[in-house]
Chain A
C-alpha cells in the first residue's frame, strides 16, 4: 500500500482541519462550519474503518507505524471526535466570537492523537503528544465565564507543561541508556537507566489519562472548560493515552516486574482516590472528572498484567469507554446549553422533561458502574479475568470494592434523574443532532454489552502487536 493510503484517515482529519480553518477565516456562520466538520469527521471514520487491517510504515522506516493497534485506536479517536461534534450544535458555554474556531481545535487535536497512537519513535511521539495537547489547552480556555475558563486553562497548561518537562527528561535518559529513540531498538535492550527513563517518560501520558498523582488538573479543568471541550478531553484523549501507554510500557518487558509494581501502586491509588472524591461532588462535570480518574485506574489493571489478555482488555475497555462516558457528557451539554454547569440538583425530574436524555444518562451511568447488560460490564469482566490470570488476585478484590463504592454515587445520579420530583416540568427539546448522538451512544453501549465478541477480537488482534502470540 502506498504511503498516502496508509495515512488516509489522518489526511482526512488534516483536510477537515484546513477546511474548518478556511471557513473560519472566510467568516461563514458557525452552523456551516459545524456541518462541514461533521462531514469530514464522518469521512475520516469511514476511511479509518476501511483501513482497520492496514499495516505498514508510510514515512521514514521505524518512525511511524500503521498496525492493528494504531488503527483500532484511531477508530475510537475519530468516533469520539464525531460524537463530540454531534453534541456541538449549540455551543452555549463557548464565547460567541470564538465559536467558529472550535471545530479547528477539535480536529487538530484529534490529528495529534491519531499520530500519537502510530508514533514508534520517541521524538515523533513527543511532538504528537504536544500537537494533541495544544488544541485541548485552547479548547479549555473558551468558556463564557472568563474567570473560570482562565483558571481551567491555566491549571491544564501548567500541569501539562510540567509533565511534558518530566517526559522529555525521561526520554533523554532512555536515549542515554540505549543510544536510540526508536521503540524497536529500545525494546531490544534493557538497563536500569532505561527503566528509570521510561517511568519518567510515562508522566506525560499518565497526565493525559489523569492517573492519580497527575490527576489534580482534571476536576478544575472539566468544571471550568466548555462542556464540549470537557467531552472531548474526557473521551477521545483517553483512547490516545492508553494506546501510547501500552506501547511505552511494553518497552520494559525484561524489567516488567519492577514496572508492574509502579503501575500497581498508581492503579490502586487512582481507583480509590477517584471513587472516594467523586462521592462528595455536586457538580456533574467534577463528578465525571473524578470518575475518569477511577476509570484510568481500572484500565491500568489490564496494562500491568503485561499479557496479551491484559492489553486486549485495556484496549476493549477504553474503546467502549468513549460511548459510555459520552452519554453523561451529552446530558451535561444539553442541560448546560445556556453556559451554566449542571449540578446534581438540576438533574431532578429529567425523566419527565426528556425521557430520551434520561435514558442516555442511565445507560451511560450503568456502563460506568459496570452493570450487566451494558458494555461496561463486559469491559470490567475482561479486565478482572486478565488480572486473575496474571496472579493479581488482591488487585481484583480492591477493584471490586472500588466498583461497589462507585455504584453508590452512580446510582444516586440515576435517582436524581428518575425519582426526585422537580418544580420545573418544562420539556427539554433535543436538537436532531443531539438526539442522534444520544441514540448512537445508547446503541453502542448496549450492542457492545450484549455482543462484545467482534470488538473483543479486534482488541485481541491489536494486543498481538505488543504481546505476541
Chain B
C-alpha cells in the first residue's frame, strides 16, 4: 500500500504545482496596462492595418512548401559545421544526400501536382 501512497503524493503535488503556477505569478507579477496591451501581437513590430484583408490562398500553399525547404536547411547546419573535418567521409556525404533527396521529394511532389502554378 505504501507504493500507492507515493503515487497519491505524486498526484497531489502535481495538482498543487498546477495551481501554484497560476497563483504565484498572480501575487508577485507587476500589473501594467498600456496602449500596446490591447494589440493583436503585443510584441515585435507595430501592427499595420486590419487583420481582415483578403489575400490569395496560394500564399498558404507556398508557406507549406517553404517549410519543406526550411527543414532541409535546419538539418544542414550541423553537417556544415563538421564538413571540413577528416572524419566526414563519403559514407556520411551519401547519407546526407539521401536525406536531402527524401526531403526534396516533397517539393517535387508539390511541383508536379501544380502547386507552383499561380492561379487566383
Q: Using a CB–CB distance below 8 Å, which chain A residues touch chain B?
A: 21, 24-27, 191-193, 196
Contact = CB atoms under 8 A, between A and B. Distances in A.
Contact of A27 (B3, B7, B105, B112): B112
Q: Looking at chain A's contact residues, is the secondary structure mostly helix, strand, loop, or mixed? A: helix
A196 to B, nearest CB: 7
A193 B6 contact: yes
B118 interface: no
B112 A193 contact: no
Given A21-B105, A21-B109, 16 more contacts: A24-B109, A25-B105, A25-B108, A25-B109, A25-B112, A26-B112, A27-B112, A191-B3, A192-B3, A192-B4, A192-B6, A192-B7, A193-B6, A193-B7, A193-B10, A196-B7
A194 to B, nearest CB: 10
> Which of under 10, 10 to 19, 20 to 34, or 35 or more describes the interface residues of B?
under 10
Nearest to B108: A25
A25 B10 CA distance: 53
Q: Looking at chain B's contact residues, is the secondary structure mostly helix, strand, loop, or mixed? A: helix
Interface string B103-114: 001001100100
Contacts of A193: 6-7, 10
B71 to A, nearest CB: 16
A4 to B, nearest CB: 15
Contacts of B108: 25
A178 to B, nearest CB: 14
Contacts of B7: 192-193, 196
A27 B113 CA distance: 9
Nearest to B114: A97
B94 to A, nearest CB: 17
A24 B112 CA distance: 9
A193 B11 CA distance: 10
A25 B106 CA distance: 10
A27 B112 CA distance: 8
Interface string B1-41: 00110110010000000000000000000000000000000
Interface in B73-120: 105, 108-109, 112
Contacts of B3: 191-192
A191 B112 CA distance: 54
A173 to B, nearest CB: 9
18 contacts: A21-B105, A21-B109, A24-B109, A25-B105, A25-B108, A25-B109, A25-B112, A26-B112, A27-B112, A191-B3, A192-B3, A192-B4, A192-B6, A192-B7, A193-B6, A193-B7, A193-B10, A196-B7
